[in-house]
Structure 1
Amino acid sequence: MALHVWFIFSVAYLITTLSPGPNVLLVIRNTLRYGARGTLATLAGNLAAQLFVIVLVALGVGALVAAMPMAFLAMKLIGAAYLIYIGLVQLLRRQGVSSTAMQASMPRVSSPKVFGEALLVSISNPKTLIFFSAFLPQFIEPGRSLFTQFTVMYLTIALIVVTVHCMYCLSLSRLSKQLSASRWVVAIKRASGALFIGLGVKLLMARQV
């Protein structure tokens, strides 16, 4: 991949990643709930999902799903249901009464569970597959190795995702430590639950493009 093509690709993907979506909300939620280990497990699941989706795009599966309304609908229902479920769990979860108690009672992270949750959230969204199917081929250069180009794009995507998600997590973690009342931390967690539900409803209403 030529340097100027890679640069344009990187900037374009960075712009799309800066807009918070389910993956960003999930990594923020798990950071607040589990700390740094939750962040790492969520990022690992997200990156594994991104790799899986990009492999499907390279094999042409993304275009196939885009042409099959029933497959798109099934993936959409699964993804929306899971996002709404996560939001409801977040809203109904009992919260601590003080920031000290919240730190002391921080649940122990189950890395495989957090990893699987992040993997499912990312993979079950058909818009991700269709987006990559439309986005990535625009930067493929004829005559160059497809394997090399897709590898470079995935590594670039992984770097951008890790950077942006960590930026969000660090900013919110610092904010939560500076807040004097735990009710604000609780409000952040409940707001993320409402946003998950909203994203699930938005995905239900999404049309195939």
Structure 2
Amino acid sequence: MSLHVWLTFFIAYLLITLSPGPNVLLVIRNTLRYGATGTVIALSGNLLAQLITILLVALGVGTLLSTLPVAFTVLKIVGAAYLIYLGVAQWMASFKNNPAASPVVSDVTSRRPSLWLEAFLVSISNPKTLLFLSAFLPQFLDHTTGLTRQFALMYLTIALIVIGVHSSYALALRRLGHHFQSQRWKVAFSRVSGTLFIGMGIRLVGSRA
């Protein structure tokens, strides 16, 4: 992959990543609740899911999935159901006495596996990501050189972009975090984020390949 092709890929994917989606919303939520630890957990789960997705693209699974509308529909419904589940959970949490507790190290430690799995599933459960990357990545491949190295470079580039963009969101929110410590704001955030997750799930159900 030549330098100008890589730069084109970098800019294109950066613009795509700047658009907020479920992964960004999860990073924002975890950052406000658990601080930097929550940010790292969300990023690591997302990046592993991205790695698996790119491996599937390299193996041609995305192209195969596009020819199997029933399989795509099933995966889409599963992914949408999980997003809606997260949204409902946020709403239910907002009715508890402490829906979004301040960051506590012990609480983060005990919840680390579930938070990581949550981030991983949010990223891996959307089949549209696999279809999109299956159409997007091959445009930048040079078939006269080794494809393995090119896919590896693409993943490293995507990881760099995701870390940079999501960390920027997290850093901005941490600097403003002292404005959002009241119980009323925490309840409002739980309900707004829950509504957004539900909306994203419904939108995924209605989407087409």
Q: Normalising by the residue count of structure 1, what TM-score does the alignment of the two structures yield?
A: 0.91
Q: 8 Å contact 2:41–2:112 — kept in the other structure?
A: yes
Alignment RMSD (CA, Å) = 2.0
142-151 or 105-114, which moves further after superposition?
105-114
2:82 alignment counterpart: 82
32-41 or 20-29, which moves further after superposition?
32-41
2-structure distance, mates of 1:158, 1:186: 32
1:51 alignment counterpart: 51
TM-aligned CA distance change 1:205 to 1:95, over 3 Å = farther
Aligned with 2:102: secondary structure? Answer: helix
37-46 or 109-118, which moves further after superposition?
109-118
1:96 alignment counterpart: 98
2-structure distance, mates of 1:38, 1:173: 11
Q: 8 Å contact 1:176–1:185 — kept in the other structure?
A: no
2:33 alignment counterpart: 33
2-structure distance, mates of 1:180, 1:71: 44
- Give 5+ residue unaligned stretches, structure 1: none
Task: Give the length in aligned residue pairs.
Answer: 206
TM-aligned CA distance change 1:146 to 1:173, over 3 Å = same
2-structure distance, mates of 1:29, 1:59: 34
2-structure distance, mates of 1:21, 1:158: 16
Q: Offset of 1:35 from its aligned partner?
A: 2.0
- Give 5+ residue unaligned stretches, structure 2: none
Q: Which amino acid aligns with 1:90?
A: Q
Q: 8 Å contact 2:27–2:166 — kept in the other structure?
A: yes
1:204 alignment counterpart: 205
Q: Deviations over 1:74-107 (max 9, x none)?
A: 110110000000011111102539x9x7356983
1:154 alignment counterpart: 155
Q: Offset of 1:179 from its aligned partner?
A: 4.2
The share of aligned pairs that are identical, in percent, is 56
1:123 alignment counterpart: 124
Q: Offset of 1:172 from its aligned partner?
A: 1.9
TM-aligned CA distance change 1:103 to 1:137, over 3 Å = closer
